[in-house]
Structure 1
């Protein structure tokens, strides 16, 4: 019997350093795919010497897959005049890449897939209402400028999906209420953390690694590190983060920013304006394992987002034993316990600074064991394994039903 085929659609190259939780989700689904499945990924290419529009074998997270890039894009961490999602959708038009299972992480590409056969799943990674209706028009994505158009397109496309899975409970409720005819297809799915990559050190190892990093950076031995990781885009509001560090006003604290994006220049301007050049380091984009090393040794991980689903980096920090400070958005406040982090009720520099101060000055109240415990239910191996198990069961049941129908037709029963 042939293997069931899962084709994943998203606008990135898994071999490059592409920033974002969606990319991490996809790599996790590849890594923990059972051998019973054949995995294909339709993405983009950042190496101009590689062929476009044809399948080739590649390896992702130790797993052999088939990969087809649709077009070349040098750096997908920055917004383009023509959104990458639009270019990706256009490149799919006229093709038929039907397979047994298809996973989509953006809505737009499914304009090309309406007539494709197979089970289609749409993953929702944000609180979609807050995302589309965000008031920040200056740095807005395309749909934030035209929210009515987004919901019209969504209404046109939504019925083709067998499943709509969201890591955000508000989004689950939104889709179930907005589309009651398909409400049973909408459900909550946990985002995940790969415990083979994200794990804690002992307290002694953590302290030794912190001192070593401070020494490498030419900082005082008692320096404590705050970590941010993500795209430097309006959604993550890194400008608020810089202003919060200024409000914190603690010379023994150093902020590490792992990421890249459109707000990099503005961020540098804010750092200079507040005189924080000696207290903030922009690291650029990091590979997941490099980021995990920092997550294990920093005193606190911080998120200043305007809207979220459930950020993978939050789970990764907790699994590494590091407490969180987060704005009150997305699913993160629902998983945090009193001893694993602090939720800021206001999105202001003073509120974020107060929360950071609380964790930094009371580290014993946020033990690594509590952080690890908060992330435990989100283990990738378990969560992704269960999803694949359900997929395989449906596929085998479908093949059995087809065989029975064919048998009856052949025998005349």
Structure 2
């Protein structure tokens, strides 16, 4: 089976975490014998000229792929990736599957009537729609009226051969038993709630708590990265906030293992895979009550804070850091969640969906 994967996010040597979840799934599918070709954007920068250039290159590259024979197209994100997959379907009659990750419905489809109509058409014509979180599943089936038999709730899964407690490896943080290390991993964008996190850390710092915040991830905009550095200076947090830039998955797993608390204060979030990866490393989690995170952190696997609410975020962080029993319960529940969302079993479900989509096409 030959499959074309189209994605507007994919890692590169300079941006190793950009769309890494797509690359992980691609490699997992290849290990199962799938013949995959990838047409993807590998540059996270959002400056206007760069956006125009990279999207033109990506669209051209994807259209050139249409001259080859594929059995199936798998698009990550409804728009714009799904738009290219639907175009392939209409030109070559090749069925496609689209994975909805959250930003495509919660952000892109809300930009105007054109994007909303295109998103609806993309979902309607797809052979199957994969949603990574329960809120997205509900939105696709109720708001966009896609029949439930053509929609699956299937997150990207955690690779537990990478994300596990690396207690025998070098501690990447300064060894200070009195200091609490807080960790954020993700793109440095406003929607991730980094400004609220910095404000919460400032409250704790000036309250006399010995905390240090580690920010791991690549900026999509140099201007926003500069704004964050200036905000750190304004808050007087130069001594307790550290920007580490993008890191490999192995490095991220080490950071997660030795962090006292992982924090994901997103404004919107489809599923929150990075929180699951932290659970697999045995680290307690505080995250926003948005998207798939309440589902992921249910059963005592984490503590929820209201999105864009500094008071709520500060209280949630304090609650976990000050209570060792809460930490132990979260760690145990988190291991259970990581086991239930293991990437290997999810990969097999994706393979089954591939076969089903191709078989249905052959009987039409």
The TM-score with structure 1 as length reference comes to: 0.76
Q: Which has the higher contact order (CA 8 A, sep 6+)?
A: 2
Residue 321 (structure 1) aligns with: 282
Q: Structure 1's 104 and 85: CA in aligned 2 closer, same or farther, altered over 3 A? A: farther
Separation in structure 2 between the aligned mates of residue 324 and residue 369 of structure 1, nearest angstrom: 12
Question: How many matched pairs?
Answer: 348
5+ residue gaps, structure 1, are 46-75, 133-142, 403-413
Residue 120 (structure 2) aligns with: 155
Deviations 1:254-281 (A, max 9, x none): 1000012122111101110111111000
Q: Is 2:29 the counterpart of 1:29? A: no
- From 229, 235, 246, the equivalent of 1:285 is 246
Residue 258 (structure 1) aligns with: 216
What secondary structure, in the 3-state scheme, does the structure 2 residue paired with 1:365 have? helix
Alignment of 1:37-76 (within 5 A): 37-44=34-41, 76=43
Deviations 1:38-72 (A, max 9, x none): 12112256xxxxxxxxxxxxxxxxxxxxxxxxxxx
Q: Is 2:94 the counterpart of 1:118? A: yes
Q: Structure 1's 179 and 355: CA in aligned 2 closer, same or farther, altered over 3 A? A: closer
Separation in structure 1 between the aligned mates of residue 276 and residue 107 of structure 2, nearest angstrom: 21
Separation in structure 2 between the aligned mates of residue 311 and residue 86 of structure 1, nearest angstrom: 29
Q: Structure 1's 213 and 158: CA in aligned 2 closer, same or farther, altered over 3 A? A: closer
- From 361, 372, 376, the equivalent of 2:339 is 376
Report if aligned partners of 2:72, 2:95 keep a CA contact under 8 Å in 1.
Answer: yes
What secondary structure, in the 3-state scheme, does the structure 2 residue paired with 1:227 have? strand
Report if aligned partners of 2:132, 2:155 keep a CA contact under 8 Å in 1.
Answer: yes
Residue range with higher mean Cα deviation, 269-278 or 234-243: 234-243
Once the two structures are TM-superposed, the CA of residue 340 in structure 1 deviates from its matched residue by: 2.7
Q: Structure 1's 19 and 328: CA in aligned 2 closer, same or farther, altered over 3 A? A: farther
Alignment of 1:8-407 (within 5 A): 8-12=5-9, 14-18=11-15, 22-44=19-41, 76-81=43-48, 83=51, 84-85=54-55, 88-93=58-63, 95-96=65-66, 97-106=68-77, 107-109=79-81, 110-111=83-84, 112-113=87-88, 114-126=90-102, 128-132=104-108, 146-180=111-145, 182-201=147-166, 210=171, 213-215=173-175, 220-249=176-205, 250-261=208-219, 262=221, 263-337=224-298, 339-345=300-306, 347-367=308-328, 368-392=331-355, 395=358
Separation in structure 2 between the aligned mates of residue 93 and residue 282 of structure 1, nearest angstrom: 38
Deviations 1:73-109 (A, max 9, x none): xxx2221315344652354346514511211113224
Separation in structure 2 between the aligned mates of residue 28 and residue 35 of structure 1, nearest angstrom: 11
The TM-score with structure 2 as length reference comes to: 0.85
Separation in structure 2 between the aligned mates of residue 348 and residue 78 of structure 1, nearest angstrom: 28
Q: Larger C-alpha radius of gyration, 1 or 2? A: 1
Separation in structure 1 between the aligned mates of residue 112 and residue 256 of structure 2, nearest angstrom: 36
Once the two structures are TM-superposed, the CA of residue 121 in structure 1 deviates from its matched residue by: 0.7
Separation in structure 2 between the aligned mates of residue 181 and residue 343 of structure 1, nearest angstrom: 30
Q: Structure 1's 21 and 193: CA in aligned 2 closer, same or farther, altered over 3 A? A: farther
Report if aligned partners of 1:195, 1:319 keep a CA contact under 8 Å in 2.
Answer: yes
5+ residue gaps, structure 2, are none
RMSD in angstroms over aligned alpha carbons? Answer: 2.7
Once the two structures are TM-superposed, the CA of residue 148 in structure 1 deviates from its matched residue by: 1.9
Separation in structure 1 between the aligned mates of residue 105 and residue 12 of structure 2, nearest angstrom: 32
Deviations 1:357-384 (A, max 9, x none): 1111113322232221122211001111
Separation in structure 2 between the aligned mates of residue 101 and residue 36 of structure 1, nearest angstrom: 15
